[in-house]
Structure 1
Amino acid sequence: MFTTVIVPRVSETDGVGHINNTTIPVWFEAGREEIFKMFTPDLSFKNWRMVIIHMEVDYVNQIYYGKEVTVYTGIERIGNTSLTIYEEIHQSGRLCAKGRSVYVNFNFETQRPEPIPDGIREKLNEHLWRPQE
């Protein structure tokens, strides 16, 4: 599992005083950076390999400006060409949001998915996370 700490910005706060719901997917994406590096070590878009094909978010509790949040990111499932990432956001010890995203290892030259290489698969396996739901 990967851990990313984020300090909420004023611009992410909505009119009723909590973090806007559109911010959560952006924070989840920030938590995926180490996974992106497994597929594209230099993070170059010229060599990019990952394409998101599905995302879901459950908003569990409100998140507020002024207190940092922690994004927990793990691998729930590894398929032949795709992987499912499970994510949670916590603030002040409370689960505030959870979600899943599915990515495909994609070759932009051929415009086709490709099998996840064994070396990357081994690294992904180190971060398996089966959520308690």
Structure 2
Amino acid sequence: MFVTKIRPRVSETDGVGHINNTFVPVWFEAGREEIFRILTPDLSFKNWHLAVVNMNVDFTNQIHFGTEVEVRTWVHRFGNKSFMLYEEMFQGEILCAKGTVTYVYMDYQAQKSAAIPEPIRNELQKHLKET
């Protein structure tokens, strides 16, 4: 599991007084940086191999300005050319959102999906969420 801390900003707070729901997917993506480093250690888009093909978010509680948020990210499962992440977002001890995202490993020069290389698969395996 990877853990990322997020500091909510005033500008992310909407008129109802909670963090606007459009920021939750952005914060989940921030929690994926170490996953991105497994696939592209230098984070260079020139060497990028990921494409999002599906994303789901369930909002379970409100998030407010003034208290840090923790994003927890696991590998949920993976296949030959794709993998799914599972994420949870907590403010304090309260689960505020959970979701999944599926990425396809891409060969952008050929403009098609490709098999995830074995060294990457082995590293992703280390971060599988236990059921």
- Relative to the length of structure 1, the TM-score reads 0.96
Task: Give the 3-state SS of the residue equivalent to 1:120 in structure 2.
Answer: helix
Which residue of structure 2 aligns with residue 44 of structure 1?
A: 44
The 4+ residue runs of structure 1 with deviation greater than 4 A are none
Gaps of 5+ in 2: none
- Describe how 1:1-133 pairs up with structure 2 within 5 A: 1-130=1-130
1:1-42 Cα deviation digits (max 9, x unpaired): 100000001111000110000000000000001111111111
Gaps of 5+ in 1: none
Deviation at 1:100, TM superposition (A): 0.2
Q: RMSD value over aligned CA atoms?
A: 0.8
Q: Percent identity?
A: 56
Q: CA separation in 2, counterparts of 1:24 and 1:82?
A: 23
**Letter paired with 1:128:** L
Q: CA separation in 2, counterparts of 1:119 and 1:50?
A: 16
- Relative to the length of structure 2, the TM-score reads 0.98
